[in-house]
A and B are shown apart, each in its own frame.
Chain A
Amino acid sequence: MNESIISTLPKRKQLTLFNPFSKKDIPFAIGCPALIWQILFFYLPILIMIVSSIFLLSKEGDVQGVTLDHFRACLNAMHFSIIFRSIGVALLTALICLLIAFPFAYFLAFRGGRYKNLLLFFLIVPFWTNFLLHVCAWFFVLEKNGFLNNLLLSLNLVKEPIHFLNSFFSVMLMMTYHYLPFMILPIYSSLEKFNFSLYEASSDLGATWIQTLKTVLIPLTMPAIRLGFLLVYIPSFGEFAIPELLGGDKYYYAGNVVTHYMLGEHTAPLGAAFTVMCSCFLVISIGLFLWLTKKLSKFLMGGCQS
């Protein structure tokens, strides 16, 4: 007995030596591609981009050395105002989307009835078509003698056609249009799982619907609101196609500046530095937002206890 056990031991060790993967490791090798892919094409590029922000380029575009000049070049009033404008636009987009999305999702989840799937269908169809086609569509609506101006003129609301295009208004409109479903869908799916008897209990116990909304519905759907907010806020901060096509050339937004630098002649490191700076501001603002919503949640729930 003892002998046989001892004799088997080195054999097994030898086997594992020759085989690069022991039996236990094979599944890990199979599970790897996704991890390797994510590291190689997500984290490594971001790391390289961050590192490249300190590269000093020669006139031919070769790396000559290391410098902090790009960051210094970014630290001026113009660049800061661009970042704060982008944060403002993203924040405003997210807020408008939230104001539209919450009642919409509420209706869809609780009052939708048998039309629920139909309404959801009509919500998702535009969401899933190319957004550049939406931009094109809004051109037809907002144009000087387009649909909206004709409507306003025929209703005698305005005397002369308004220039809607190439303005802050058209950018905000398109942003809201594009990102609205990102806010509706998480809130809707959270409200749908919401236990409706809690709502009934609250109103049975004498709460008005505003009180119920404040102390029951909003705190319990807060994770979804938070998710929707981030899903709108983060991409709209970096958005560059919408301001590029609808914003005219009066204002620059973070996405446009990054694109301009990155695709420009030998200005890629400057673009990388600006991207790093933007990302820092973005991370800080997200942290602040998460902290604020936590406080708000506590405050709303606290109002219920007192």
Chain B
Amino acid sequence: MMQGKTSSLSKTSNLFLVVLTFLFLYTPIVVLFLFSFNAKAFPAPWDHFTVHWYQELFNSSALWKSFRNSLTVATLSTFLSLSMGILLIFFRVSGGRISRFLPMFYGSLIIPETVLAVSLLTFFSIFGIPLGLPTVVVSHAVLGLGFVVPIVYTHYLELDPKLQEASLVLGATPSQTFFKITLPLLRPTLIATGVLIFIISFDDFIITYFCSGTSFQTLSVYLFSTIRSGISPVVNALSVFLLALTSLLVLFFFSPKMRTRIF
């Protein structure tokens, strides 16, 4: 074995790189966290400790309205794209052939989100559809489908086909097989994909910016306009809150029960 100098050298340099990458990832977050307790607003240097911004965060009605809007959009679009994905798998279990349609769902991988957003805006305005919650949900559901269909279908193909064949041979109808065999086997994948597209929809900015119109605001659009007009430490407090929330979700995603890999 090559356990000489080069090997250990590459090992330490590798570790060094990983530490550096994590420093790169977390320095801004730590700075943001510390400055959420700063008494003076950006870009002032450190003054003294305060929790004033957290109080203001929980009293800001515009922010929480946009937060609720984001939650609504993410929930509805996740539900839509997941159920459409499940129906597609049901179609496959009942003997349909979907492999020839599958490349259609990879389109959202190849086309930049900005192009899709611009196209949806043109589409809605040409047909005179008013922009608002429904248009954002519809657009996010398209975004979600691009993840749901490829991921769920790949995991469906990795299932042991013998289980479903046995069920069919033993006299179960395709729908019985689907609900009693396929769906329980796919459940971890479906939950993981659901969490993933929920987060993607919740954090999405580009499509929402184009398709939300002027009256409807999600958290991302609200943040964009806030940052443009000058950063308030309330945003810092918000990000600490959101980071905690996300960590919980990711923790759930990594829990031993969810032993499925969708990356």
Point out residues on A near B: beta carbons under 8 Å.
26-28, 30-35, 37-39, 41-46, 48-49, 52, 100, 103-104, 106-108, 111, 117, 119-126, 128-141, 143-147, 177, 180, 185-186, 188-189, 200, 203-204, 208-209, 230-231, 234-235, 237-241, 244-245, 255, 258-259, 262-263, 268, 271-272, 275, 278-279, 282, 286
Contact = CB atoms under 8 A, between A and B. Distances in A.
B98 A131 contact: no
A203 B88 CA distance: 47
Given A38-B105, A38-B142, A42-B107, 19 more contacts: A41-B142, A46-B111, A49-B122, A107-B14, A107-B18, A108-B18, A125-B250, A130-B223, A130-B239, A133-B243, A146-B31, A177-B28, A238-B113, A241-B224, A245-B227, A262-B122, A268-B122, A282-B112, A286-B110
Contacts of B112: 234-235, 237-238, 279, 282
A271 B115 CA distance: 10
Contacts of A189: 261, 263
Name, among B91, B115, B121, the residue most crowded by chain A CB atoms within 10 Å (CB to CB): B115
Interface in B118-152: 118-123, 125-126, 138-139, 141-142, 145, 149
A45 B114 contact: no
Nearest to A176: B24
13 contacts: A43-B104, A107-B14, A125-B246, A128-B250, A132-B223, A132-B227, A140-B35, A141-B31, A145-B43, A146-B31, A240-B114, A262-B118, A275-B115
Interface stretch (B52-60, B158-166, B179-187, B202-210): B202-210
Given A27-B174, A209-B2, A35 B220 contact: no
B15 interface: yes
Contacts of B121: 262
B76 to A, nearest CB: 14
A156 B61 CA distance: 45
Given A31-B91, A104-B21, A245-B227, A48 B6 contact: no
Contacts of A35: 88, 101, 104
B42 A143 contact: yes
A30 B205 CA distance: 32
B50 interface: no
B14 A111 contact: yes
A129 B87 contact: no
Name, among A27, A245, A258, the residue most crowded by chain B CB atoms within 10 Å (CB to CB): A27
Contacts of A255: 114
Contacts of A140: 28, 31-32, 35, 42, 236
Interface in B185-216: 199, 202-203, 205-206, 209-210
B254 interface: yes
Nearest to B199: A128
Contacts of B145: 34, 37-38
Contact of A34 (B87, B111, B263): B87
Contact of B11 (A28, A111, A121): A111
Contacts of B63: none
B51 interface: no
Q: Top 8 A-B pairs ranked by shortest CB distance?
A: A31-B91, A238-B112, A238-B114, A137-B28, A45-B123, A27-B94, A49-B119, A45-B119
Contacts of B6: 208-209
Given A30-B91, A100-B21, A131-B203, A124 B250 contact: yes
Interface string B215-244: 000011001100110010001101100110
Contacts of B10: 209
Contacts of A275: 114-115, 118
A31 B203 contact: no
Contact of A31 (B11, B87, B202): B87
A134 B26 CA distance: 10
Name, among A140, A237, A238, A278, the residue most crowded by chain B CB atoms within 10 Å (CB to CB): A140
A46 B263 contact: no
A103 B1 contact: no
B243 A129 contact: yes
B79 interface: no
B235 A136 contact: yes
A142 B212 CA distance: 31
